[in-house]
Amino acid sequence: MLWIKRVLVIAAALLVAVLTLVFILENQGQARLQFMTLQSPEWPVALFVALAFIAGGLAGVLLSLYLRARLKFALARNRSELNRCRKELDGLREQLDSQARP
């Protein structure tokens, strides 16, 4: 079963590599991006698309790291509150037991 997964992963990687190569070869035309008064140098369209893809991936990774850190802090805060509540509950149970025994 493991070898089937390896073969599928290798096949998927080769397919992505071939599609990327075809995309790059088909998009060799030069382009210049302009935003307001800023202009980029003339580069192949494939380079602009690749840079946009990389920027999007980095933005996704950074956002997931930020959200993960927030969740870790929230989990730590909730665990400490849970421990505090458990201690309070144990104290209340002890008081109830001491009142129930004459």
Domain that holds residue 67: 2-100
The rounded distance, in Å, linking the Cα atoms of 85 and 32 is 62
Of 42, 43, 59, 53, the closest CA to residue 20 belongs to 53
pTM check: above 0.85: no
Reading the chain (102 residues) residue by residue, the pLDDT tens digits are 788 889 899 999 899 889 888 888 887 788 888 888 888 888 888 888 888 889 999 999 999 999 999 999 999 999 999 999 999 999 999 998 888 776
Contacts of 42 (CB under 8 A, 6+ apart): 30, 31, 32
User: How many structural domains comprise the chain?
Assistant: 1
Q: Which amino acid is at 59?
A: A
